[in-house]
Structure 1
Amino acid sequence: MFIGKVIGNVVCTQKDESLQGLKLLVIQPLNDKLTPKGKPIIAIDTIRQAGEGDLVYLAKSKESSLPLTKELTASDAGILGIIEHYNIKKLEE
């Protein structure tokens, strides 16, 4: 799993049948300090509640579509939850 921020949405007039009725969002992956890490990706909103500006946690590949009831879904990433609070405790060296 990894953390990201919703920075936009995707509107499609044509898409794979397995994606019908699913919301697609543009996600900026983030590192532990919540700064951008890599290029933005497209993810399925499997919880159907995420929106622009939300901090979310995601899964990649096959795990990304496990919350969906469909057997096969064309997906590289899926939103599994919205993060309400994020805290990292600094480990003593």
Structure 2
Amino acid sequence: MFIAQVVGDVVATHRHGELGGRKLLLVRRESLDGELEGSEVIALDVIGVGVGERVLVVQEGGAARSLFQSPKIPAQAVVVGVVDSVDLGSGVEGVEGVEGVLGGRRS
């Protein structure tokens, strides 16, 4: 799972039957400091978001199959939430920030 920004819509007039009329979005991962990084990913939208929004993306085929109750859906990434804020816990006694937990890596 990762935080991303919606950077565009994907229009596909011919698509796999399991995708039906589901909206496709182009998302790009955000670093912990809010900078966009890496390549864009096409994700299915299950909550109705738009370009510019910060979202929570699950990128794992099993999650898509489970959400849509379809073993044949050809999707690996799904937008599952809108990110309102991120609190890294810095300055709070006894709470280690995300940077320390992840060892400087993103998963």
Unaligned runs of 5+ in 2: 91-95, 101-107
Instruction: State the match for 1:52 in structure 2.
Output: 51
Scaled by the length of structure 2, the TM-score of the pair is: 0.76
Q: Which has the higher contact order (CA 8 A, sep 6+)?
A: 1
Higher normalized helix content (fraction of residues): 2
Q: Does 1:36 align with 2:40?
A: no
Residues 1-93 of structure 1: pairs in structure 2 closer than 5 A:
1-47=1-47, 49-61=48-60, 62-90=62-90, 91=96
Structure showing greater radius of gyration is 2
Distance in 1, matches of 2:29 and 2:64, equals 15
Secondary structure, counterpart of 1:66 in structure 2: helix
**Matches of 2:85 and 2:65 in 1, distance apart?**
24
**Conserved? CA contact 2:64–2:73, under 8 Å:** no
Matched-pair contact (CA < 8 Å) for 1:64–1:79? no
SS of 2:51's equivalent? coil
Gaps of 5+ in 1: none
Give the Cα–Cα distance (whole angstroms) in 2 for the partners of residues 32 and 55 of structure 1: 12
Between 1:58-67 and 1:77-86, the stretch displaced more is: 58-67
Work out the number of aligned pairs and report it.
Answer: 92
Cα-Cα RMSD = 1.8
